[in-house]
Structures are given as structure tokens and as C-alpha cells.
Structure 1
């Protein structure tokens, strides 16, 4: 998205790290071995040798969320897990606030190697971040209650419209939802409950995320989508991870060519 207008849900200082199990490419492939060989990925200047440390704003289904077994999963997470495997690395995921992530603060601090949080590539963000090649296209969308009299963005005058702070959804709402009261939330984890409890009349955010809500609860529906030519990219600290960025782009291209990317896409973003 130009991603959602999102305000970080969790303070960076309270970030929790969860190492995904089952992401290693094989015993002995991550870390130094008996012969004193360097750990995989040392050439990339990783936060932890042998591990690709990923920062993401969770939950934001279907891109990143907690699975039934407590592990972080989703399109972004699964795709980066596959990329890490191509690079002979494990993966570790930290839950951080989106605002600090999209501004470049989190990555500049060296908290993680890469940001993966359905982040739209924009010229403004490129001033503080380096981005991978685009890995998915997205639309913005308007979600309302099924019995709502809101049929389009033109019906939002006087309505409370929820957005995620710092996202492209917020930007789109500010520019196009004339007369609406724009209400910011840190993440979809607060935005969706606000909708369910009646605090807001609509949600304007990335179509894949609203689509999950629509599929999970028939009391809600998407009434409009908006083509904003948005593309997501994985984010890196500006000018600091050139070798890793190149390696991630190469692995992404390989996964797109061999069909693995499409399998992950169909799992989370295919129309059901």
C-alpha cells in the first residue's frame, strides 16, 4: 500500500522477538561449523550471523499475523522465509510499530536487517529507506457494515472513517474522503475492533486486509476499491545493506521464476 496510515502499536523499546521454527534450511547450514567456517550470511552484515532478522507491524493479515501455533506467518513472512532459505539463512521476526518502521528509524537503529510490513514504495520513504524490487501490487478499499447506507467514498461526509496512521490509506482518505472525520489508529489490531464496536463507520485501507475482514464476517463488505498504483517492497536501512538488498532481489526473482512465489501468493492473496 502506500501502505496504510499506521501508527505503531507497540513501542520500539518493548519489541518482542520470535524466532520462527522450521525456517532453517537444514542442520549445520546456519552458523559456524566445526571447521571454523564463517556463519552463513556474514557477508551481508546481519544483526545476527546466520539469521535474517525481520521487523514487521503485526497483526496485518494476510501479510503478517500470528498463526494458531504462535508463530508469525502471512504473505510477507512466508515469502521472506523462502528468500532466507535461498540465502542459507534462518529467519527471526520482531513485532514493531509501523510508523517507526516506515520512517526508517527502526532500520537505522540496527534493530533488524529488513522491514517487511506491506509497505508501499514511495518517493518520500525512499529518502530514508532502500527498497527491494516490488513484490506485490495493491489497491486501497473502503469497508463498511453490510447494512450501511455508505455506497462509495462520496457518502462519507459527516462519517467517522478509520485509517492506520502513517499509511497510504490515510493519505488517500485525507485527499478524497471529503467531509469525513478521519480517525487514526496505530494498526489494524485496533482499527478492526473499533469498526466492530461502532466507533467508526468505515475503514479505508489496503484491499487485501479489508478482504480478510469481509471474508471472516459477512456483516461487513467492501463497497469500493481504488487503483493507486501502489507496490510493496522490502525495506532496508538507507545505504547500509547493499549486498543484502542485491541478494534478496536475486532470491525473489528465483522464487518468481520457479513458481514458489505463486504458491505463497495463492495461499494468502488468491481470491477464495
Structure 2
């Protein structure tokens, strides 16, 4: 959920980790569509089969700034949105966002049911998820941030456990995996917004979340008066976009669009826009 180097999965995390003032924003594209399954069969460029004619439907879980979230007008925007917009452009279609539970995304249920064509949710590439999804090349490096009240005196998960503090994580994420590995029974929340509210309302003492999301939190009015980023947990993992297993045509188009974006500077431009700093490194383009 690495400093700005390269994952949640394939990006440069080092710069962001150092400054809590990074301008992390949101990600998404067009508004969410219906939550009902849609029949596949409409072909786009390169013979890619899409759920609906003229659309590349993206499953995500809102809010998850700076990867995807709604702006003041209600439009879904962010880093992931920018990247998938490039894929849609390559296919000659437009992107549409579908907001659903993360569990339906990571387990492949949404893709298998024909609800969407691609999953873009700041999603970590894991061996377990590979059983149900086919992932793109990594596009961002993952580092988690530990947040608590000022003066709490903790900077690590080991200290959270030793002090008997309550920990909040987002359900189904690598933050939950890290908590379990540390021997902590964490309280789970469906999205990052509910997780933040739990911290602010005192339901939990500490939260663990992807660093870009945490940095975005630090920009909220009054947040820094009571809370602070106290630690970083590199996972050595990376983020990837995902398609239904066996959808090689769409996966090829995604990797080609990512590769082009990395080579022509579009990836860097979007990174700087949403992360508020230049990347320390970039992911390797698809071969």
C-alpha cells in the first residue's frame, strides 16, 4: 500500500518519503458506471475485446489519492487514471471508472464477472493475487507509512505491538499482511477514507497505509496539528494494473502504453503532478 523509487509498484518512492508536504492528489477518470455485469464482445484496436463498445471500464476503490479520487467537480482523477487514459487512447476508446470493493478487485471477481476490463487501484503485485489476475509490468514502488498522534512515541510496528496500541489498516491490502507478520490483530476498514476517520475519531491509535496516501492526508487542514507520519515500511513490492487471466491482448496494450509513457516522459510528468516531487527512479519499460 519504498521511498519514491519505482511500485504500489514501479515508481520512484524515495523523494516522497522524505517530505510529508508532497502534493499527492487523486486518481481516476470518468465517473463510475453501473455495478451490474456487462456482456463482453466489443472489439477495440489491436483486437482487444472490451466489456462495452467504445469504453475501457476500470475497476477501482475510491478514495485512494493520489492514485484515484474525486475532485471538486466529482470527476475521478489521479496518477492511475492518467496511466489508464493512455491505454484507452491507444485503443481508441475512453476510460470509465467503476468504484467497487477492493476485495472484488484483488480476487478477480469483478473482472471475471465482466464488470470491468482492467483493475487500477494502486494494487500491489503479489503471488497470491497472480493466481486470479494477470498483472502488467510494475509501474510504482510500494512503501507504507505509519501514522499516529503526535508524541505517541512509536515509530515501528514492533513498538505498536509492544505498547498494545490499536492499529487500523485497509482491508485486503499489504498493510494487513504486514500487521499480521508483526503479530498484530489490526482493525480493518473498507477504504482509506474510513481508515482516516477512524484515526481522527480515536477508534484506532495508529494506522498503516501506502505512503502516497498518507502524504496526501498530511495536507488536510488541521491534520498536522494532531497527527504525524512517524515511520516508513518499505515492502520491496510494486504496483501493477491487472486484467482477467488470459486476456493477453489487453495486457499487451497496457504494457505498450506504459512503456511509451516511461520513454516519452508522460509517466514522469504525471508522477510530478500527483506526487509533488520528481521521481528518484522510474520503472523499466516493457521490452
Q: Normalized against structure 2, the TM-score is what?
A: 0.78
* Structure 2 gap segments, 5+ residues each: 2-6, 9-27, 32-41, 279-287
Q: Distance in 2 between matches of 1:144 and 1:19?
A: 32
Secondary structure of the residue aligned to 1:156 is: helix
Shift of 1:226: 1.3
Bigger Cα displacement from structure 2, 253-262 vs 206-215:
206-215
Equivalent position to 1:209, from 208, 213, 230: 213
Equivalent position to 2:30, from 20, 24, 28: 20
Q: Distance in 2 between matches of 1:267 and 1:86?
A: 22
**Are 1:169 and 2:179 matched, yes or no?**
no
Aligned counterpart, 1:260: 266
Q: 1:147 to 1:48 in 2, by over 3 A?
A: same
Shift of 1:181: 4.2
The answer to whether the 8 A contact 1:129-1:236 is kept is yes
Secondary structure of the residue aligned to 1:248 is: helix
Count of aligned pairs: 239
Shift of 1:267: 1.1
* Structure 1 gap segments, 5+ residues each: 4-17, 22-37
Q: Distance in 2 between matches of 1:267 and 1:222?
A: 22
**Are 1:247 and 2:253 matched, yes or no?**
yes
Secondary structure of the residue aligned to 1:236 is: strand
Equivalent position to 2:230, from 223, 235, 243: 223
Q: Distance in 2 between matches of 1:148 and 1:77?
A: 36
Bigger Cα displacement from structure 2, 213-222 vs 134-143:
213-222
Secondary structure of the residue aligned to 2:219 is: helix
Shift of 1:154: 2.5
Shift of 1:268: 1.2
Q: How does 1:1-272 map to 2 (within 5 A)?
A: 1=1, 20=30, 40-41=44-45, 43-157=47-161, 158-176=164-182, 178=183, 180-216=184-220, 217-218=223-224, 219-239=226-246, 241-271=247-277
Q: Distance in 2 between matches of 1:86 and 1:270?
A: 27
Shift of 1:270: 3.2
Q: Which runs of 4+ in 1 moved over 6 A?
A: none
Bigger Cα displacement from structure 2, 149-158 vs 183-192:
149-158
Q: Which has the larger radius of gyration?
A: 1
The answer to whether the 8 A contact 2:58-2:118 is kept is yes
Secondary structure of the residue aligned to 2:72 is: coil
